[in-house]
Homo-oligomer: A and B are copies of this chain.
């Protein structure tokens, strides 16, 4: 598969490493950072030269013949929409780690419709995904409703100990700030996890629950005077007047957070409660989901799709694909 890579931060570089491992070819790499433009992509990956010079010229890169764009430049749909539209105009499928793109229909219905229309006209597929949003707090809970006769409520909780994680993530959750600076950062949209309300909307959308509103609270977790991390809760309320939240997603990301885990509870018939002790590691998991999803996205029908509309995702390695061709199973 021929790939154009746009956005070479931690997530973008991690995905690049994995797609190269899987035998795909990166034909162009785009990043606006002047410290990166002009370098060989291999150098940024701390690997052998790849003969791919990082460029700040996205339009030029999109003229390379390619199959798919891997897009990792930002979290907000409105900010990245021109980039996505340029790729779709160039008739590229797109997988993006833009958090809001995981389910833009609820909060950005106009932008979603426009991008979906364009993707259909150009015959390409656009999907936003990652481990969260895109897997552990939405796709996994959605799948867990399959063995249920009925479902009344869905809860997911994720506790991440950020003490072993990169500094940029620690900053994003407010580590070391005063509570006042934290609250100002939340008000200005600089702090907090982007995508939790999108996960609520994705779950409700898959189950066909019309929501009247989605609320979100982001609070600092404080030890003494310094913020250690955040506690973020998003709730979706059904339009049928049920006063209790139909979907509640509860996220803790903090230094030394106790009992890191992922948990999903389905209140229904039968009730289910799933626990992943230790939780799913965020960075590797997002890299891997994006890399594993490539063959599914290239094969998917045109349009802007949520990950819940794709076939069951799973590991897709080059070795695996070679074996599959020789096996009697379905391709």
Interface set of A (CB-CB < 8 Å, partner B)? 18, 21, 103, 105-106, 109, 112-113, 116, 131, 135-136, 139-140, 142-143, 145-151, 201, 204-210, 239, 268-270, 272-278, 280-281, 284-289, 291-293, 303-317, 319-324, 326-330
Given the interface pairs A142-B312, A150-B317, A310-B312, the reply to whether A205 lies near B285 with Cβ below 8 Å is no
Residues A306 and B289 in contact, CB atoms below 8 Å apart? no
Kindly identify which residue among B136, B277, B304, B312 contacts A308, using a CB–CB cutoff of 8 Å: B312
Residues B305 and A330 in contact, CB atoms below 8 Å apart? yes
Given the interface pairs A112-B328, A146-B135, A328-B105, the reply to whether A276 lies near B272 with Cβ below 8 Å is yes
> Closest residue to A205 on the B side, CB-wise?
B329
A95 to B275, CA, bound (A): 30
A277 to B304, CA, bound (A): 37
Report B-chain residues with C-beta under 8 Å of the C-beta of A315: 145-146, 148, 150-151, 207, 268
Report B-chain residues with C-beta under 8 Å of the C-beta of A323: 208-210, 239
Instruction: For residue A167, give the distance in angstroms from its CB to the closest CB of chain B.
Output: 21
Of listed A268, A306, A326, A330, residue having the most chain B CB within 10 A? A330
Instruction: For residue A37, give the distance in angstroms from its CB to the closest CB of chain B.
Output: 28
> Closest residue to A140 on the B side, CB-wise?
B143
